[in-house]
Each structure stands twice: as structure tokens, then as C-alpha cells.
Amino acid sequence: MKWIKQIFDCFHAYKQWFLIFITTDLLFIFFAWLAYPETFKVLVGLMIVFTLAMISLSVFIIIRKQKIIEAAFEDFLVEANETNEEILCRLSPKTYWPFIRRMGSVIRSYQAQLNEQVIELTDYENYIEGWVHEIKKPLSLMTLVLDNRSDEMSPLVRQRMIHIRDQMLGDVGRILYFARLGATHKDYFFEPIDLLAFCKQTIEDHQTLLDESGFQIQFIGEEREILSDRKGLAFILEQIIANSTKHVAQNQDSPILKFETVYDKGSDQTILHISDNGPGVPQEDLPFIFDKGFTGRRGTCTRQATGMGLFLVSKMAYDLAIQLDAKSALGSGLTISLIFPHVKQ
């Protein structure tokens, strides 16, 4: 089939020359019929055999040359340097040389710009990661002061300071993860995790954020064991918790954050529903809440909304093979479902 396609493409590319060749043969056949009627059949047979032989030889030579040009062109695309450009020019018809040289110049220009951008991006990532590690030093000092000097400050001030510290740690974690989004190697370690117990532990680690907003926490369902990466799953839960605390409805007396585990027998999957009773998300915004930088109408209610938290959740969930689903309506809260893959032990 490949040879048939190559022959067909060859005929299609050089159809005008083959048509001229066949027309010339027909003209000479007509002349042979007029001049040599006695030997007309013999002459026609010889001309047909000669024509078929010449066409077959031409097609073979064209296809062979096209393969050589194709190999040179692939080398040129991989590395559009002047050496590969000259090799391609020597193998190609001379009328194509100006186009090849212009194409090589454009590719090399774009490649130089791309290399500069890669260097700038690498420097930026290194700077962000360095800044994150540097900012952890004053945060550690803040933690040390809060632990050792708590008797010198009022409970309210200490609670507010812990709240601010936890917010800063969450922001630093988001920055660091975002800077590492394009990393080739990621150190995930998948292990069995008791889902509800893990959610409770994550809540304890971020209790100050929830206390500041007055959240009540509810756990519903039976304990289910899933297979995932602890750090990655903790990051997902942290961002969803932070998202709920940022979007507490104004004058809301009793905000609630609910964690519910469900087992779907049909698909043999464990599902974790994380729900709040906040202002909810309009239906027209719901399909875009995991998009980068999207805040929507809900984001206009608070200056803290950046549209990055749920975007990073979607990226981490993709890495961990966790499916995400979101359901909401304006004024009825938001439910984000984590659908864990079924893994055979």
C-alpha cells in the first residue's frame, strides 16, 4: 500500500509531464499509421513498451530521489544549521534554493528567540525557588516566636499571627508548586491512605484558617482506603480548604465544610465530596473554575481570589490520576468531588 501511494503521489506531482509524454507518443503513433501502415502494429507495440519502460524508470528515480530529499529535510528540521541547509539545497531543484535558505534563516531566528526564552524561564524558576527557600527563614522565626513567646501576647493576637503565618505558608507552597509545574521528574510516592483519617489530619494542620472564618467541620461516610501520594493529596485538600475560606459569604453565621466518602459499586471507585455552604458558583462560571486565573463572579466578592488555587488542584489531580467534578448553584455552596482511580493490589 505504501508503494502504491508513493506511485500515485508521483503521478499526481508530475502529471503535466507524463501527459505531455503520452500526448507525444500518440502523435508519433498517428505519424506511424500514416507513413508505415504495413508495420504499424509492430511500431505501436515497440512504442508502448518503450513508453512504459521510460515511465517506470522515471517513477523509480523520482521516488528514490524524494526519499533522499525527505531524509535531508528531516535532518534540516531537527537542526536547521547552515550545513544541513546546504545539503538540502544540493539535493533539491535549484528553483527551490531561495525558499530553503529563507526558511532556514527564519527557523534559526525563532530557535535563537526560543533559546533566550528558555534561559530566562530557567533563571526565573531558579529565582522563585530561591526566594521561596529564603522566605521560609522568617516564617520559621515567626513560628519560633509564637511557640516561645506566646505568654507575651494576647490569645487573639497569637491566633491572628498563626492565621497569617499559615496563609503565608500556603501562598509559598502554591508558588513553589507552580514554579515546578514543568518539571520532568516528580517525586511522587503512592501508598495506601485511609481517606477520612487523612482529611482529619489535614484539617488539624490548617485549623487556624478554619477557626478564623468560624468553620464547622463535618465528616460523613465510612473509612475508605485509597492509593495516592500523601504530599500531592494534602496539597489538593489544602487548596480546596483555602478556596472555601476565601469565599465565605458575607455575614454568614455558621459556615460549614463537609467531607463525605462514597463508594461507587458500578465503577468500583472511591469518591470524596468536599462541600461548603458558601455563596456558590453561577452556572455560567462552573465549567471554568479550574482554568488558570479564572475568578468569575464569585471572585469579585473577595480581593484574595487569584484563580490559581483550583488551577493547581487540577494539575496535581491530573498527576495523581484523580478525576475532578464540581457542582454548585448560586447561593447553595460548592461541592468538589475527587474520584480516585480503582487500583488492583
Please give the domain boundaries of the chain with CATH numbers for all domains.
2-92 (no CATH), 108-179 (no CATH), 193-340 (3.30.565.10)
Average of per-residue pLDDT across 268-277: 91
What confidence tens digit (pLDDT) does each residue in 49-72 have? 888 888 788 878 887 888 888 888
Whole-number Å distance between alpha carbons of 280 and 305: 14
Q: Is the dihedral of CA 271, 277, 280, 283 positive or negative?
A: positive
Residue 164 confidence (pLDDT) above 70: yes
Crossing angle of the two packed helices 195-205 and 230-246, in degrees rounded to 10: 60
pLDDT of residue 261: 93
> How sure is the predictor about 197, in pLDDT bands with cuts at 50, 70 and 90?
very high
Whole-number Å distance between alpha carbons of 169 and 153: 22
What confidence tens digit (pLDDT) does each residue in 128-158 have? 777 877 887 788 788 777 777 777 788 888 7
Residue 184 confidence (pLDDT) above 60: no
Q: Mean pLDDT in the chain? A: 82
What confidence tens digit (pLDDT) does each residue in 199-223 have? 999 998 878 778 777 888 999 999 9
Give the predicted TM-score (pTM) of the model: 0.63
Average of per-residue pLDDT across 109-138: 83
Classify 327 as helix, strand or coil: strand
φ, ψ for residue 182, nearest 5 deg: -90, 10
Q: Which amino acid is at 114?
A: L
Whole-number Å distance between alpha carbons of 16 and 25: 14
Q: Strand ranges (DSSP E) for 128-221? A: 190-194, 216-220
pLDDT of residue 345: 60
Q: Strand ranges (DSSP E) for the chain? A: 190-194, 216-220, 225-229, 256-264, 269-276, 323-328, 334-340
